[in-house]
Structure 1
Amino acid sequence: MFKFKCDPVYLLDFYCYKPSEELMVSMVDIDAAWNEKRKQEGSIFGKHEVTAEEAAKADAEAQDIIDFQYRVWQKAGLSDNATYLPKSIHPKFCGNTPRTDLNASAEECRMAVCGAVEGVLKKTGLRATDIDFLITTTSIYCPTPSISSMVVNAFKMRKDVNSYHLGGMGCANGVVAVNLVADLLKAHPGSIALFVTNETTTPAFYKGRDKHRLVTNVLFRLGAAAMIITNKPSLVRKAKYLLEQRVRVHIGATDDAYRCIWYGPDEEGLNGIYLGLNVVKEASKALTLAMTKVGSKILNWDQIAAFAWNRIQRKVLKKPGVEPFIPCFSDCIQHFLIHAGGAKVLDNIGKNLKLSERYLWPSRTVLRYFGNVSSSTTWYTLSCVESLRGVRRGDKVLQIGVGSGIKCGVNVWRALRDIEDVHDAWRMRADAGDRTRLANVSHGSLHIALRLLSLAILAVLVAVLYRFFVEKGGIVLPEDGIISRFW
């Protein structure tokens, strides 16, 4: 804790990219694309010059895959008409022949990343030449030159800007990479860092029939976020949040954790993101370790004592039937930014952390209107909280990201002022009436009067104690200077 007082890191502001309305994708578009292909060719996996029996078998397999994706979508928590895909894989524009080449990937990446950077620079009033550190991250799409170089070129940044690109780190990196940003700022006081998160969906789109890989087609959507993080004294008064805690764990030393999520070819040589059946189990292990680490730093004393007593009962006294203690983090945290990998994932995390629906709704709302936007997800969640509910000064915000590896990151931010920004990504929902303003809790002159009264009472109490203990002989100061007490 002392370290952060000496080397504070602040989130100045951030921006979540809002795609064009024409890029909204609906299940109607998807069904039309798949079924049109079946009408024309007999199967989405059809081959030329096949027998009627082979065509019927292929068509049945295609229908099974369509039904499987529909069942996944029904349980995933995504809206049927309010998430976004780039034109390269959007069924309304490409039909059932998606483009996943490097040129199509570059188009999507430039649109989302540059849109997010432009937005955050405009919000903060900074120029691209003010940036000292640039960190970009995606998982699947890693071009040469890198995405960080693309941003440098697009915004004509300084020749001495320190730029880094992080690839292959999955959904957690929007949280985990804050460690790198904070360490860079700690080593270079008075600097400004631009952190950009994105998952380019085009190259990750799967064209095959492996159901382990088809799930990602249903969940992942277009998006990007850009953050200005700084320790420059002149910007502190404008900052929104102070970074109080940052924890990172990595359990990739075990094969089960390392192999449960990976990108690569199926048996037919078609690339896709493989999701194993043990993803939730391994992610829970990483999350438990991370929350145990951060819990000792943020939980109140009664919960820490309850945890210690529970552990003594189970490990030392060996009492049978004693369940592991699960702390209630909502007693000390006001807002939770949970990576919305899917509805079931949110249900499990909420149960494990004892979170009511009030704390889960921002993540569910992001999943509904933007889908899984990978490493950007928790930042869309924070923009949802600010836009539709508001953050009170002094509120603590817990940011949780879990991704391939398996790795998990947890950050704790403290709000430095009341925040009710309506972000572009949520303006439509705010205008539709989903917004709830912060209650006015300022007491004005009454609050000042109560403070003065409490100080007056404290002064009287100190005077009484002084008179009783010092003037009445409660404490005697002998000539030799040794203090003796008697009652």
Structure 2
Amino acid sequence: MDISHRDHLFSILHRFCSFSSLILSISMQIFIFFSNCHPIYLLIPTFLTLFFHHFLSPSETHLVDFSCLRPAKHLRVPIAFLLEHFTLVKRFDKESIAFMTKVITSSGIGEETYLPPALHLIPFSPTHEDTIQESHMLFFPTLDELFAKTKVLPQGIGLLVVNCSGFCPSPSLSSIVVNRYNMRPDVKSYNISGMGCGAGIIGIDIAKHFLERRKAKSYALVVSVQILSTGWYDGKDSRKLLLNCLFRMGCSAVLLTNQGKTDTFQPKYRLVHLLRTQNAYDDQAYNSAILEEEDEGKTGFSMERYIGKAVADLVKSHLTLLAPIILPWEERFKYVIYCLLHKKYVPGFTKAIKHVCIPPSSQPLIIKTVGKGLGLHENALEAVLATFHRYGNQSASSILYQMAYLEAKGKMKKSDRVLQLGIGSGLKCNSLVLECVRDFEIDLKANPWGDCLHQYPACMH
């Protein structure tokens, strides 16, 4: 039985039990009233209703904390170094080098991004072992920091989800983590590949379904990683050369629980809404971002010219479903009135959310266009633009680097809500709304922006 079918059955069972307990409670109250029993007996059905509600209602999901990797300084690739590297490796023709130079210099990416050791070599020829070593370099510092911050032992993890779009070894990446940290034998582990920038929210969705069915304290760990050693394309197809220009190393880890405030910790965030949609049934959307082999037999990840329109259509349909869920009543009312009048109206998402994290997957102009579609002022996109400038596109982990930026700048306050929007190949769009449940102080030493925060946002201009 797959997860979606099991979830559907659980939802039906939950509604049936809730309805049955309500009918039972009302029936008992009527019986007690007409039996002229002592009024104190009326408390019995009330107690039973509260009892059933407690044990049948799903547990809330909370985000305890998260960590993002700051790669080692010696892996830094300044733009001039990277452009020279393209020439020296002698894998690219002049047209390909000219195309990548134009994309990189106009993209808004900065001088502090990182590539794995195998791609620093001349000529680069990464092996499977190089890629495994890169995964170790990404996973272990990130998870060590998270376990140290939260004081949660690896043996306390009940669910592990690891996602990486382009590398799927055997044993799996999730098995590498389980083996390294000697996790318990009954840990549920999942390995997600090929899901792109939206995979982190998919991992949290899996964790949410795992946690909400448990009343005892449980933990889930979601790891998002961008592994590049075997991902570079050295052919002539410009659609596939974009990955070389924009994607960089990155890793994030999120610890989730089904418990709120306890004696040992209080989570930072509460999961409020999670929505997933996709357009994979549409051929154009399906083929707009795809891993394929070209005529010379070289494999690369293609991003078609029409991907902008495909993403815009996907996001529009997604927000149409999301808006009624999160917007206040007055915005919903305005939206309905404008629709009836056949007029265009952009709902005020800023009235429901304080911060937005979206994939920093392209040029600043495109990022600002997406923000405009959400009705956001350019200042609200500072974290997105800063993340792309400092770290490049790190696939699913980029959203957590934006969260870290907001925290480091002191912009995240108690009761603030943040919208995370992940867009992945397929195409699919996933959104997550988190609410900050407490104020907290930030240790910049454990924050990926600790060494450069004072430069932003000025250095982006």
Q: Same fold (TM over 0.5)?
A: yes
Distance in 2 of aligned mates of 1:140 and 1:242 = 31
Provide the C-alpha distance between the structure 2 equivalents of 1:412 and 1:233, rounded to a whole number of angstroms: 17
Q: Which residue of 1 aligns with 2:208?
A: 182
Using the TM superposition, give the Cα deviation of residue 174 of structure 1 relative to its aligned residue in structure 2, in angstroms: 1.3
Partner of 2:449: 426
| Cα distance in 2, alignment partners of residues 191 and 77 from structure 1 | 42
Q: Report SS of the residue matched to 2:360.
A: coil
Alignment of 1:314-353 (within 5 A): 314=342, 322=343, 324-342=344-362, 343-353=364-374
> Cα–Cα, structure 1 residues 147 and 36, in superposed 2: closer, same or farther, change >3 Å?
closer
- Shift of the alpha carbon at 1:6? 4.8
Change (3 A) 1:20 1:235: farther
1:33 and 1:191 mapped to 2: Cα distance?
47
Partner of 2:333: 305
Whether 1:272 aligns to 2:272 is no
The answer on 1:159 being equivalent to 2:185 is yes
Deviation at 1:197, TM superposition (A): 0.4
For residue 172 of structure 1, what is the aligned residue in structure 2? Answer: 198
Paired residues of 2:271 and 2:433 also in contact (CA < 8 A): yes
Deviation at 1:33, TM superposition (A): 2.4
Shift of 1:5: 8.0
Deviates more, 1:153-162 or 1:182-191: 182-191
Between 214-223 and 97-106, report the one with greater CA deviation. Answer: 97-106
Structure 1 residues 235, 78: closer, same or farther in 2, change over 3 A?
A: farther
Query: How far did residue 152 of structure 1 move?
Result: 0.5
Does residue 98 of structure 1 match 2:137?
no
Q: How does 1:389-468 map to 2 (within 5 A)?
A: 389-421=410-442, 422=444, 423-430=446-453, 432=454, 434=456
Q: 1:300 to 1:86 in 2, by over 3 A?
A: same
Equivalent positions of 1:195-234 (< 5 A) are: 195-233=222-260
Q: Relative to 1, partners in 2 of residues 1:289 and 1:71: Cα closer, same or farther, differing over 3 Å?
A: same
Tell me which amino acid in the other structure corresponds to 1:63. K
Whether the 8 Å CA contact 2:70–2:448 is kept in 1: the answer is: yes
Partner of 2:119: 89
In structure 2, C-alpha distance between the alignment counterparts of 1:36 and 1:172, rounded to whole Å = 35
Match of 2:74 in 1: 22
Residues 118 and 229, structure 2, Cα contact 8 Å, conserved in 1: yes
Query: How many corresponding residue pairs?
Result: 400
379, 395, 399: which is aligned to 1:378?
399
Secondary structure of 2:401's partner? helix
Structure-1 separation of matches of 2:314 and 2:207: 22
- For residue 336 of structure 1, what is the amino acid of its counterpart? V
Q: CA deviation at 1:433?
A: 6.1
Match of 1:58 in 2: none
From 112, 131, 138, the counterpart of 2:164: 138
Aligned to 1:34: 86
| CA drift at 1:100 | 3.2
Check whether the contact 1:221–1:371 (CA below 8 A) recurs between aligned residues.
yes
Structure 1 residue 19 displacement after superposition:
0.2
Instruction: Quote the Cα distance in structure 1 between the aligned partners of 2:126 and 2:427.
Output: 26
Letter of the 1:78 partner, please give it.
I
CA contact 2:58–2:212 (8 Å) conserved in 1: no
- TM-score after normalising by structure 1: 0.79
Conserved 8 A contact 2:228-2:249:
yes
Report 1:354-373 matches (<5 A): 354-373=375-394
**Alpha-carbon distance change, 74 to 402 in structure 1, aligned in 2, over 3 angstroms:** same
State whether structure 2 residue 272 is matched by structure 1 residue 249.
no
> Is the CA contact (8 Å cut-off) linking 2:62 and 2:260 kept in structure 1?
no
* Residue 177 of structure 1: how far off its partner (Å): 2.4
Cα-to-partner distance string for 1:437-474 (whole Å, 9 max, x where unaligned): xxxxxxxxxxxxxxxxxxxxxxxxxxxxxxxxxxxxxx
Q: 1:258 to 1:37 in 2, by over 3 A?
A: closer
**TM-score normalised by L of structure 2:** 0.83
**What is the alpha-carbon root mean square deviation over aligned residues?**
2.1
Aligned pair in 2 of structure 1 residues 218, 406: CA closer, same or farther (>3 Å)?
same
User: How far apart, CA to CA, are the structure 2 residues paired with 1:418 and 1:391?
Assistant: 8
- Quickly say closer, same or farther: Cα 1:294–1:37, change in 2 above 3 A: closer
Q: Which stretches in structure 1 are left out of the alignment for 5+ residues?
A: 39-43, 46-61, 315-321, 437-487
Q: Do the aligned partners of 1:105 and 1:200 also contact (CA within 8 Å) in 2?
A: yes
1:66 aligns with 2:97: yes
Report SS of the residue matched to 2:451.
Answer: helix
Q: Is there any run of 5+ residues in structure 2 with no aligned partner, and where?
A: 1-52
**2-side partners of 1:416 and 1:219: how far apart?**
34
> Do the aligned residues in 1 keep the contact of 2:59 with 2:213 (CA within 8 Å)?
no
The one-letter code sitting in structure 2 at the alignment partner of 1:335 is H
Report the equivalent of 1:450. Answer: none
Q: Does the residue aligned with 1:195 lie in a helix, a strand or coil?
A: strand
Distance, in Å, in 2 between the alignment partners of 1:417 and 1:406 is: 35
AA aligned opposite 1:202: S
Q: Is the counterpart of residue 78 in structure 1 residue 106 in structure 2?
A: no
Where 1:344 maps in the other structure, the secondary structure is helix
Distance change in 2, residues 1:37/1:204 (3 Å): closer
Matched residues in 2 for 1:174 and 1:383: separation? Answer: 15
Tell me what 2:62 maps to: 10
Change (3 A) 1:159 1:414: same
CA 1:196 to 1:384, structure 2 compared with 1: closer, same or farther past 3 Å? Answer: same
- Read off the aligned partner of 2:156 and give its amino acid letter: D
> d(CA) in 1 for partners of 2:176 and 2:348?
44
Return the alpha-carbon distance in structure 2 between the equivalents of residues 371 and 5 of structure 1. 41
Q: CA deviation at 1:234?
A: 6.1
On the 8 A contact 1:216/1:273 being kept in 2, the answer is: yes
**Shift in Å, 1:235:** 4.6
**Mapped contact 1:291–1:410 kept (Cα < 8 A):** no
For residue 332 of structure 1, what is the amino acid of its counterpart? Answer: A
Is the partner of 2:452 in helix, strand or coil? helix
- Match of 1:158, SS? coil
Q: Residues 397 and 26 of structure 1: is their aligned pair in 2 closer, same or farther, counting only changes over 3 Å? A: same
Matches of 1:206 and 1:172, distance apart in 2: 22
Aligned residue type for 1:88: A
Structure number with larger C-alpha Rg: 1
